[in-house]
Structure 1
Amino acid sequence: MQIEDTALEGVKILRPRRFEDARGFFCEVWNRDVLARAGIVMDFVQDNHSLSRSTGTVRGLHFQAPPRAQDKLVRAGAGTVFDVAVDIRRGSPSYGKWLGVELSAENGLQLLIPKGFLHGFVTRTPDAELLYKCTDSYAPDCDGAVYFASPEIGIDWGIAEDAAILSDKDRAATRFADFQSPFVFEG
């Protein structure tokens, strides 16, 4: 497993080793002992699987606030997505900065997103499936969202804002300029 640091402290790109032959491939996407040796210690308690039928579907930007905040390990099981993490830890040198990574079933990359970050993605292909592990269970009373196209963040989603396919929740999400983050940087 290759582990790459990113410009956002704590956000990492994981590249599992694939063993391929004429039948397909096998890879180990999470191994607690291997990753603990690399300083990544997390106890995942929930696995999620989402399917987005149409290209241009945006899900996010989501977070779960303390005391039920979640670390996430995200990968594409089918298709391709552009996956985004945004630092929302007040006092962080990278507060409001974002990182985007193309995750696909073909490239096998995974994005590790710690607590204190918004998470979202846009589908680049139809029938894109996102699989992600979380370190806490879903808690509706701690669920939050920030509008994906908030100009203060300036994410280049690769699609026009009015072309994005959004849920009602994501369309009505708080703009970043009005957002009060529940997270504090502890660096």
Structure 2
Amino acid sequence: MLILVVIHQCKGSVPEMSEKNSFGAAAEDLLLRRYHELGNAPPVIDIVENDCEYGDLGAHTMDRHGPGIPLRRAAGVKTIEGRIYGDWPWRRKVNRSYQWTDVRTIDREVNAQLRRNWETIRIDLAARHFAESIFDVGRRVGRGYYNGGMYEASARRACYAETDLFLVRLRLAPDSAVPFVLSTFPWS
């Protein structure tokens, strides 16, 4: 059972727990209904189908982090390394640009973490319509570049790296309790 707890604190006092909800009964009912609609079992994600179905809502894993994107920087070509520099067709420079090793790894790792962490993810989705987490799976899931000059007053410098971390961002489809992967990508 989900229990909502709000902390009330007066200036200079110790926080105390209260079962009262500052959102009001209607908002609490909506949150609980959404929580139950999400169900006890997590969705099973096929990232290619996910991106096709929810691309109009911003899903973009394969477009920005897919294994089919060339790794090394090349003129006039969309590459993982070129994203560090904001090369065409990327819209801006970034400090990290990684790609998944393969589609099978995306599906396996995202679904494994959804199963392991569903209760926490479910609560976030019910409350915020959004969930974001970083996971360490202990084996390589991706490769790419980070900007070696990001914390210095120096020029951008793409540094190659492999990683066993990944980030996943989920959202609820509009007016529903259907979660989808907005994006998931290897992280460093």
Same fold (TM over 0.5): no
1 or 2 for the larger relative contact order (CA 8 Å, sep ≥6)?
Answer: 1
Higher strand share: 1
TM-score in terms of structure 1 length: 0.22
Higher helix share: 2
Structure label with greater radius of gyration:
2
TM-score in terms of structure 2 length: 0.22
